[in-house]
Amino acid sequence: MSSRYDAVIIGGGVIGCFLAYQLTKRGKKVALVEQGELASGASGAAAGMLAADCEHFEHPELKSMARLSRDAFPSVIRELRQLSGIDAGLNERGFLVPARDAQEAEELHAGMLADCSGEWWRPEKLQTAEPALCKALHGAVYRAEETQLLPARLTEALAYSAQSKGAELLLQTKAAEIREINGSVQGVMTSRGLLECEQAVLAGGWQMDQLLQPLGLTLPLEPVKGEIVEVHSESPLLTSTLYARNVYIVPKPGNKLWLGATSYSGDRSSGVRADSVYKLLSAGSEYIPEIRSSQFIRAWSGHRPKTPDGLPYLGGFSGIHGLYAAAGHYRNGVLMSAVSSSILANVMEGIATPGVNLEPFSPDRYQRQREGEMVL
């Protein structure tokens, strides 16, 4: 382990690993510090949907960033496969947003026209393309551009590709303190000792406030627990991803389906509730009746990192030179990882990203609010 780096990244989730990959590609000397294993936080629990069109975004700028990010994945994944030998399992068969009744069909159709994205599939076309779907559906919007992948594999592929370009991966290593002198980052104290650096990045999911409190800074984040169920069938039941209002069903390699996801704000518990498994399987089998006779494989949970205003933290802290945050991507961290890491790598090099205003994503925004309240 060398002791001096250009940048130390705290967090081995998809955001930290993508940033490590971006920075090493730019010739930076990087260490990535992860307290457990790669993807042991939200990134290993995600469904892996890159749903830039289907998802709702709080800010118009996020929508266009999300589309840019989604569209970057096919070439990134090819690159990662060459460097790491790991295939992130990109599924490019598009998404279906189904209508259960005539009113839902009307709403979805109108929304599709207003959005200028997607194609309307009548029930006959839907049945031909996806014969296992319930015959009572009233059609669906088909979005060909939406994709999905295996998020834990993506995270590993990013980390090992970064390592192949010189990054140091320090797993089972906890970051305990950010060292600064006169308002400039000097290093990160970890359970393995001090890592000296000029730049430190907080990419540790929803638990970053502990590292900031000793510096008098704050980065409010709330965990939103989510659960997913995996089932297996003898033959494939679905090729495109089904993105319904009450459940999504994501086809994965080996005739597996992932059904997700629950959402419990502020729930820090681990494990999976029996009634969540019941609800997800019931909702899923209304769309694909054969799910009832499929084999239950496993269920898991994770915590989405949510900011109070729903916008991620992306950028530098004005109070401490060399300290950055890339956190709070809530339901869409896998999707946003390509664009967010590229923007932050630019910020760290002092380069502006054309067409992107970073002000709404400033990690200082709640700090400024708190200081304003204290003055009043």
Q: Taking the chain, what is the end-to-end CA distance rounded to the nearest angstrom? A: 48
CB of 101 to ligand FAD, least distance (A): 26
CB of 52 to ligand FAD, least distance (A): 9
CB of 183 to ligand FAD, least distance (A): 22
Record the tokens describing residue 32, joined without a space.
């990535």
Which CB atom, from 302 or from 316, has the smaller least distance to ligand FAD?
A: 302
Pairing between strand 4-10 and 30-33? parallel
Cis omega (within 30 of 0) for bond into 261? yes
- Residue 330, phi-psi category: left (phi > 0), alpha (psi -120 to 50), beta (remainder): left
CB of 356 to ligand FAD, least distance (A): 19
Which CB atom, from 47 or from 185, has the smaller least distance to ligand FAD?
A: 47
CB of 125 to ligand FAD, least distance (A): 26
Q: Is 109 helix (H, G, I), strand (E, B) or coil?
A: helix
Chain residues in the site for ligand FAD (CB under 6 A) = 10-16, 33-36, 40-43, 45-49, 174-175, 203-205, 207, 226, 228, 260-261, 302-305, 327, 329-335
Which CB atom, from 41 or from 139, has the smaller least distance to ligand FAD?
A: 41
Query: Please, are residues 53 and 111 in contact by the beta-carbon 8 Å criterion?
Result: no
CB of 103 to ligand FAD, least distance (A): 27
Q: For residue 124, which amino acid is it?
A: E
CB of 330 to ligand FAD, least distance (A): 6
Which CB atom, from 15 or from 140, has the smaller least distance to ligand FAD?
A: 15
* Nearest of 126, 85, 90 to residue 105 by alpha carbon: 126
Which CB atom, from 140 or from 203, has the smaller least distance to ligand FAD?
A: 203
In whole angstroms, give the CA distance from residue 363 to residue 22.
Answer: 20
Which CB atom, from 174 or from 279, has the smaller least distance to ligand FAD?
A: 174
CB of 49 to ligand FAD, least distance (A): 3
In whole angstroms, give the CA distance from residue 24 to residue 7.
Answer: 10
What secondary structure does DSSP assign to 112-164, as a single string?
HHHHT--EEE-HHHHHHH-TTS-TT---EEEETT-EE--HHHHHHHHHHHHHH
In whole angstroms, give the CA distance from residue 113 to residue 132.
Answer: 27
Which CB atom, from 332 or from 367, has the smaller least distance to ligand FAD?
A: 332
Which CB atom, from 187 or from 204, has the smaller least distance to ligand FAD?
A: 204
Record the tokens describing residue 321, joined without a space.
């030179």
Burial of residue 110 (number of CB atoms within 10 Å: 0-12, 13-18, 19+)? exposed
